[in-house]
Structures are given as structure tokens and as C-alpha cells.
A and B are shown apart, each in its own frame.
Chain A
């Protein structure tokens, strides 16, 4: 990709890495939380629901600042994690954490809807055939909710690719470390003559977003066909 400068290429690669890990690591937790919200009655359900949705409502800068206070080098959690060799502050892992938290409500919403749409009577039928709760989840609920889980994963990935406010507040904008696509575009627009580099990154952003959308459509259709097909 000779038309991309080293710094631009770095930003693209970093963004893909950040978004991939943000989505992959938060997906199991998102499925668990979505299942709990969809199927369980428990005390404090509304509080959990509110906490999950908070990043969607708060200004991203606020979320980023709260992350900095909590996970930063002087933050309570950050200091603890630093002792076991995990550090978020001003590193790409911090960008991934910010992206995961910002994308989490979108993932949970999509997955929760699809789990709620799974017919509990099918789950009952599975239980009568000898499946315990975990097996019912693995063999019936999860496969039937798969289209929504795919949608949630793609949404989470796309949100992670585009996350800006919380990321730049939490881990700043260090080329090669924490400079994701949106941060790079922002940085290029701050310097004279940076418009063409910014434009190239904008095109790449659009291509990646479209690819993710098409991919999720194709996968969702394949899953749907499998259920209706021969």
C-alpha cells in the first residue's frame, strides 16, 4: 500500500487490532449479560441495565476521564493491575478497553433482543429431552440467537473502529501506540497540508465499515437460510 504513509498504515493496523480485541473479549460477557437481562429475574436488574447503557448516554469524554481515574497509573484498579503486569494507560490495550466499554451497550442490546426472540417453548422441549440448562443454552438458545449475536459483534466492532472521545481522553493520541483511525484523521486535520492523508483514511474507514456491514448481512442470511432451508 504505497499510497499510504507509514503513520497512516500504522493507524489502520492499530485500529483493526484494537477493534478486534475489544469485540472478541467483550462478546462472551455481552452474551452473558444479555442472557441475564433477557431471562433472569434478579434484584438490581434495573441497576445492571442502567450501568450497561451508561456509556451510550454519557459524553464519551466523561467515560474516558472515568477510565483514566480508574485504570490510569495512579487509579486504584490501574495500580493493582500494574503489579501483575497489565497496564492500560497510554497503551493500545487502553484503547481496546475504551472501545470495548463504548461498544458494550450496543452489543448487549442487539444480543438481548435476539435472545428474547428465542421461543422458550423450544427450550422447554429441550429440557424434556434431557438437556440441562447449560446444554439448552448451548444447543438451542445460542444457535437460535446467532443472527443477533453476529449483529451485536459487528456493531461492537464498528463502534470500536470509530471510537474517539473516550479513547483520546483515556490514552491520548500517540502515533503507533494509541493513535487509531479517528485520532489519526483528527491529527492530520490539525496540521497544514494534512487534508489528503485525512481523506485517504476517511476512504479506508468507509471501506472497512461497509465490509463489516456486508459481512454481517451475508452471515445473518446464511444463518437464516440454514433454518428455513432443506
Chain B
């Protein structure tokens, strides 16, 4: 059996709870997903070797980074990491160029201008090279931080809420770079976040944490399409489906093909033929027993109810299997009863086209 790209098994006593987690992730981008205080940062810091308080075992492919059973603890600087922090952590006394070259400087490796130019071009940093971090915007800082991590030629990329400190426009600016990292390099990525839209766009594998335990592990569609899993509450729930860009219409809408079903979205900056991921928030989905007519909403997905989960309050979450994939709808218990919805019912999911936020549209999915 080939070893997992990243194997993490850790125990640690934390304030209020005991961290005890274990997961083996395939290559690609693994998201550690959970609310703040669920132990995500402790895990990523233990993987980086910055926090030695945890016991357990961390391995990257065949390479064991720590194993408390044998007392092995590879020092952080020998782990070949590219760690992208939430607060960028650029060195304030160095120019952007020297920040980018830091890993090479300390390892006394010869400069590789081709690699440097490739990373600088990819991240659009060429006009920033002579500046110091204090003169960069938040988004620029985070791009430099990504470049600095990449130029360390890492064997593992760690990202701790890299978008949390940015506004929505900056998030939309940075997200595509993580998609490219996921799709264009073989380096495994461990990405910590509490944001469901980021999970939907980026995750190859999701490891969901709650109070120091792994509560779910699987693909983004599996984990986010599971109605019994709502770490951000029912309001934050939303399923992930994959679609292909079909055409751009003259009225500014883009037509997607999701498993044969047409979906209309505000213009998506992707060429026809490209595959992408969509996240459809459960509260933006309306269910109807008959095919709706005379409605302003443009997207109608016929499907079969797979599951109905009644919440503690007046709400319920209905899971619907459609040709496009699993879709979640959040409605009231009263509606569930009055429409006589039950498992196996044939219904129509109505999604307002504008309900799919641009930030939730991912790039080419793996």
C-alpha cells in the first residue's frame, strides 16, 4: 500500500478539551475545517514543528516528521515547509525581493532566476519587488507570502486561514492562486479554514474538526452535501456541485452544464469547456412539487428527496439528488408537512441565478 501523502495523528491536552485527531490524506489540497477553538491551529503548528506540546505521529509520504513513540522530532527548519500564515508574517526590514529569496539565502542555495521569475509572474509581483512590506496592501502581502513559501521549494505547503484577514474582493483575488497550487503542483497542501465557501472551492479532501475530534472526512461534495453536518449552523450550509461552462450569453449571463441540467449564472470569467465548482447555499434553494412556471428564478433542478433532517427549531434540511449532484435546501418544518415531502418524493429545486455568489464559483475542479 502506498503511504498517504500526509498522515497526521496527534494528541494534546488543550484548555477545556483534549485534542485527539487522526487522518490520512491523499495528495491535493486537504482542508482542516472547523470553528475557531476546534484545534485546527494546534494541528497545523504541530505539523510544522512549531509546537512540541502534542504527542503522536506526523508523516509526509515516507518521511516521518515527528513520532513521539520514538522521540523523533525533525526541527522546523529541516521539514521543507512552505507555511502561509494568516497574517503573512513578511519580514518588515527586507524588500519583497529579499523576502521571496529568504529560503534560498538561508539555505545558501544558488539563485534560480527561472523559478523566481515563474513565481513572480504567476503571482503578479514584478512591480512590487523593490518595496518593503509596510507599503503593501493586505492582498499584496498575502501574494508575497505565497511566493515566499513556494520559493522555499517545499515538500508540504501549510496555510493557516490565509484569507481570513482579507476583505471579499481580496479573497477573490487570492483564491485562484490556491486553486492553481492544488491543480498544478504535486506538493500536498494542508489548508486551515472555518469558511465553507473556501472548502467548497478548494478542498480535495475535507477533514472537519469539532472540539479536538475529527467528525467528518471526505471530498468537499460528500462532506458539505451531508445535511447532518452543519459546523457553521444551518444558515452556512450549502452543497457543492460541479459544472462545465457552456456559453456566455449576450445579456451577461453564463450558461453552465451541470450533469446535463442547464444553470444560468452572472458572467463567470472562464472559457467555455472549463470545469468548475459551484456552491449553492441551502437557504437560497426553494422546493416545489410541480415544475414552477411564471417565476423569475432561472434555475430549476428536478430531483428525488434522499433525506429530510428535522432541526431542533422550526427549520428542516432536505437533501435532494439531482442530475447535477446533491443539493441541500433549507426550509421550514411547516413547509415539509404542507407539501407532504418525504424520502423518495419527486420535487423541483428552484435556485435564483444570482444566489450563486461569485466568490463561491471555483476554478477548474480536479
Contact = CB atoms under 8 A, between A and B. Distances in A.
B93 interface: yes
A110 to B, nearest CB: 19
Contact of A226 (B103, B106, B132, B148): B132
Nearest to B158: A128
Contact of B50 (A124, A129, A227, A228): A124
A229 B96 CA distance: 12
Which of A127, A143, A230 is the most central at the interface, judged by chain B CB atoms within 10 Å of its CB?
Answer: A127
A131 interface: yes
Interface residues of B, number: 31
A191 to B, nearest CB: 53
A18 to B, nearest CB: 33
Interface stretch (A23-31, A96-104, A132-140, A165-173): A132-140
A227 B134 contact: yes
Contacts of B131: 230
B50 A140 contact: no
B95 to A, nearest CB: 9
B77 A144 contact: no
A132 B107 CA distance: 9
B134 A228 contact: yes
A230 B93 contact: no
Contacts of A132: 75, 77, 106
Main secondary structure of the interface of A (DSSP, over half): helix
A144 B92 contact: yes
A139 B134 contact: no
Interface string B88-107: 01011100000000110111
A170 to B, nearest CB: 40
B89 A125 contact: yes
Main secondary structure of the interface of B (DSSP, over half): mixed
Nearest to A119: B89
A130 interface: yes
B134 A126 contact: no
Nearest to A131: B106
Interface string B65-105: 00000000001111111110101010111000000001101
B261 interface: no
A129 B102 contact: yes
B77 A127 contact: yes
Given A139-B105, A144-B93, A227-B132, A127 B50 contact: yes
A218 interface: no
Contact of A131 (B77, B80, B130): B77
A197 B50 CA distance: 62
B18 to A, nearest CB: 25
A51 interface: no
A25 B75 CA distance: 34
Given A139-B102, A144-B92, A229-B134, A125 B85 contact: yes
Interface in A139-160: 139-140, 143-144
Contacts of A140: 91
Nearest to B98: A139
30 contacts: A121-B85, A121-B89, A122-B89, A125-B85, A126-B91, A126-B106, A127-B76, A128-B81, A128-B82, A128-B152, A128-B158, A129-B83, A129-B103, A129-B149, A130-B77, A130-B103, A130-B107, A131-B77, A131-B106, A135-B106, A136-B77, A139-B91, A139-B102, A139-B105, A144-B93, A227-B132, A227-B134, A228-B132, A228-B135, A230-B135
B29 interface: no
Nearest to A223: B93
A143 B102 CA distance: 14
Interface of A: 121-122, 124-132, 135-136, 139-140, 143-144, 226-230
B125 to A, nearest CB: 15
A132 B307 CA distance: 54
B106 A128 contact: no
Contacts of B130: 230
Given A226-B132, A228-B134, A230-B131, A129 B106 contact: yes
A136 B132 CA distance: 19
Given A128-B81, A230-B135, A139 B89 contact: no
B138 to A, nearest CB: 16
B8 interface: no
Nearest to B48: A128
A230 B96 CA distance: 10
Nearest to B106: A131
Contact of B83 (A128, A131, A135, A136): A128
Contacts of B91: 122, 125-126, 139-140
A145 to B, nearest CB: 10
Contacts of A226: 93, 132
Contacts of B132: 226-230
A227 B92 contact: yes
Contacts of B50: 124, 127-128
Contacts of B75: 127, 132
A143 B85 contact: no
A127 B152 CA distance: 11
Nearest to B87: A121
